[in-house]
Amino acid sequence: MSNAIDPITAQVIRNALSSISDEMALVIMRTAHSAIVRDSMDYSTGLCDREGRVIAHGMTMALHLGSFPDAMQKLVAKTRDKTYPGDIFVFNDPYVAGGMHLPDVYIVKPMFVNNELEGYACTLVHQTDMGGLAPGSTAVYAQEIFQEGVRIPILKLYERGKPNETFFEIMALNNRLPEMVSGDMRSQIAAVTNADRAFVRLLEKYGSDTFRAFVEEMHDTSEAMMREEIARIPDGVYTFTDYVDGLGETPEPIVLQLAIHVAGDELTIDWTGTSGEVRGAINCPIPFTKAAGYMAIKCVLDSDIPNFEGFTRPIKTIAPEGCIVNPRPPAACAARALMGWRMLDALFGALGKILPDNTPAAGEGGVTFPVIAGRHNGAAFVCTETLAGAGGALNWRDGEHGIPNPGGNGTNQPVEMIEAQFPVRVTRYGLVQNSGGPGKYRGAPAFVREYELLADEAGLIMRSDRRRHLPYGVDKGYPGTPSYNILNPGPGQQVLPVMPMLQVPMKKGDIFCHVSAGGAGNGDPLERDPAQVAEDVKLEIVTPDYAAAVYGVIMGPDGGVDLAAIEEKRTTLRAARPTDGNPDVTYLSYYLTPLNLGQPVVHDERLFSCSSLAAE
């Protein structure tokens, strides 16, 4: 730090800002009405300085946070000369307000000290419903944003402390769950109001001049630290290509083409070559595209770079207008999060060539988003979740299961809470045997979640991925296992697309089963420690026949292993491997059978794209 502020004071202020952001997150968690906010934690909080630059992040949804800069610059540009103490702003539109999709509603409070604007308290909450053609306002099948719900430009929710009752009346009339949405918005208002009080106390203690000097120093420090990290990377172009399965019954693969350019202490993330926007709701507005890049880079670096916007200065994002990660209005974007998760996969794929010790093989492909909605006992219900928890392996440990995708930092909702709030019974929830990608370090197992409908009827909306284009393995590690959406598992079951382009009808007693993708492996499976394989058999993560066929580990009747027999079996398996360098996908034939799904889903290796980093 310079002489403008001593290091101890700077650290105290930095910690205070982080605490204020975290306290906002806790206020929302404790007061929110909806399960998607309170239990899944699909929201974010942060603080910005008087210029609208981020100076602190809260503890929740990581992928949201990198989108704050674009939104705040739109807000500051529009309202700089029209902002007064007691104002609170609201907006969500991705094309005029820097938003990401319509359910993600920003509520932002300017913070004044001695009648001088000194900062902003920012919240972003995924609202359960914003109107539009589908309950939950996340219809994958929407073809333009006008079908997706209420578009909110930058408006004053409160002006000089007086609420905009017109706004609340319009919102109540244009969504299916007015009390829940109103309650969640008032949770945001409570959070920013609480932050305002704490922020004012902080500046009254240290003074505005000291605080402004601190802010400028920290932006510069964050920039310098990021430049130092980038400068350690050898100059060059690091590329990766991945694919999203696509939309509907006959999906066409969507290409994610990435090149990371490193030149000195600057880095450019270039999505040129990525597929164009689609007639579906998975188009991803540019703020979320930038957020994915910022987050991936911070994830793989060793330094604890402060969460001040200055760290973004050396990072440039290129995404040609009209591609799926920078769509033009009025492209639909309600399910845009899928592209955010999958951009993370591509980013980690490219960054893995630079920092392999810090970068995992691909996980489950991000958060799956099922919606079961309808009416029950005369009232509307929208049961929606953000499901994740099957990570890819690193080159020093197995993939973690039950841990949220790093982009989300959310939670799968407790079964008891779902059953208490919605006419739904969760009939199965657990790990899937023989799933995940084999490797010296294996990917995390897939999980299965089943819902039985108790209402007379409902509609199912689904956003998932990673069925045909499997999570990629690294360094001879095998791809993860595919995801499935199955209606009424058993004889006569209906296998649904990863992203159905319509609302799937359900009637009372119907069961919807989601099987997640499994995380991919890292390293050669035939180099896995036999003791680790034996432990997986003991824990029923894999079956004994799978252990023998995939890892070459023969289990004795006492649960022990015969090292001589293992070496002989592994020699045989190596000799039988394909000569084209691709993994032997016969391990997929062991997948799903232990679920007892009745007529099993047929695995045809020709359906799967199994490219790995090692093959690039």
Single-letter amino acid, residue 538: K
Summarize the confidence of residues 27-49 as an average pLDDT.
95
Q: What is the pLDDT of residues 42-91, one digit of tens each?
A: 999 999 999 999 999 998 887 887 889 999 999 999 998 999 999 999 99
pLDDT given for residue 440 in this prediction = 98
**Spatial contact of 582 and 615, defined as CB atoms under 8 Å apart:** yes
- 582-596 in b/e form (b: 16+ CB < 10 A) is bbbbebbebbbeebe
Is the per-residue pLDDT at 304 higher than 90? no
Asked if pLDDT for residue 200 goes beyond 70, the answer is yes
Q: Mean pLDDT in the chain?
A: 92
Residues 283, 277 contacting (CB under 8 angstroms):
yes
Looking at per-residue confidence, does 582 or 73 come out higher?
73
Instruction: Tell me what pLDDT residue 4 has.
Output: 63
Instruction: Express each pLDDT in 313-335 by its tens digit.
Output: 999 999 999 999 999 999 999 99
Spatial CA neighbour of 461 closest among 203, 282, 303: 282
What ranges make up the beta strands (E) of 170-253?
236-244
CB 281 within 8 A of CB 141: yes
How does pLDDT run across 468-526, given as a tens digit for each residue? 899 999 999 999 999 999 999 887 888 899 999 999 999 999 999 999 999 999 999 99
The pTM score is 0.94
Of 7-21, 140-154, 236-250, 592-606, give the lowest mean pLDDT range: 592-606
Strand order in the sheet with 484-487: 424-431, 447-453, 511-515, 484-487, 494-496
Q: CA of 146: how far to CAs of 250, 286, 438, in Å?
A: 25, 19, 45
pLDDT value at 1 more than 50 = no
The whole-number pLDDT of residue 2 equals: 45
pLDDT (tens digit, 9 = 90+) per residue, 448-473? 999 999 999 999 999 999 998 999 99
Residue 338's H or E segment, with its range, is helix 337-351
Task: Judge whether 523 and 392 are in contact, CB under 8 Å.
Answer: no
Q: Quick one: pLDDT at residue 25?
A: 95
Is a pLDDT exceeding 50 seen at residue 255?
Answer: yes
Residue 23's CB is within 10 A of a number of other CB atoms, namely 17
